[in-house]
Amino acid sequence: METLHDSPQTTKPGVNMKHLRNEKGIALAMIMVLSVIALAVITGLIYMLTLTTQTSGLQKRYKTAYEAGLGGSDIMIQLIRQRGDPELGLSWGAFATDACLTAKLNTTTSEANWKDACGGDFTKATTLAINTGDAGTYDFSFDFASTGFTYTAFAKIVETIEGNSGGDEGLIGKGVIASGSGEITVLSIPYFYTIEVDAENAANPNERAKISVLYEY
């Protein structure tokens, strides 16, 4: 008759089952993981807030330069309307002489019309790019000064399409005599001027705005 004996539990030498089920330190590990996640979220929020502040500042400075550019284009339009009246308080560039301005205001853009009148450099007189350090690349500059800052607008006429509306059309059905039945009204063909304006902060040239204007006169 066989006697049944319980088989002893086999374990590896030196292995303690209590240590296998020990969960000490898991809470610390979870706290560290959650801390890293929270730190990443906070860092992202701070970055977004900083970026938003910087963007707002850039937009504000650009808007100020843009407004100065609009002011420069308004001055150029006044100059065109007054046919180059020098009493506007402008600082003239190298090409904005009476002869050059007369050519730009009254003749179609061409080397024959503009080159000699504008100092012999037709390329600079017509280039779209304005280099504020080179007076040969703009017709005039004007300072818009306020408390704490000054913005300078540089402007030039780069192309003129000649019409007939710039000159004196005389008395057509106006003045001291009435319109006659045989009177022929001349068709008004406007001048078209392409104007480039570059406005920038005098203390920080990186704060700038460029404007292109097509003006019909």
169-187 pLDDT, tens digit per residue, is 444 455 555 555 666 767 7
Bridge partner residues of 157 (DSSP):
195
**Could you tell me what percent of the chain has a pLDDT over 90?**
18
Q: Residues 122-164: pLDDT tens digits?
A: 998 899 999 988 888 888 888 887 767 889 999 999 999 988 8
Q: Is pLDDT above 70 for 61?
A: yes
Q: Residues 1-51: pLDDT tens digits?
A: 555 555 555 555 555 555 555 566 677 778 888 888 988 898 888 888 887
Residue found by looking up tokens 């080179």 in the block: 134
Which pairs with CB-CB distance under 8 Å and at least 24 residues apart come from 103-108? 104/139, 104/157, 104/160, 105/80, 105/157, 105/160, 105/166, 106/160, 106/162, 106/166, 107/160, 107/162, 108/160, 108/161, 108/162
pLDDT for the residue numbered 169: 46
pLDDT for the residue numbered 197: 94
Among the listed residues 200, 199, 197, 202, the one whose alpha carbon sits nearest the alpha carbon of residue 212: 197
pLDDT for the residue numbered 160: 94
Q: Spell out the alpha helix ranges (H) of 82-110.
A: 98-106
Rounded mean pLDDT, 82-92:
57
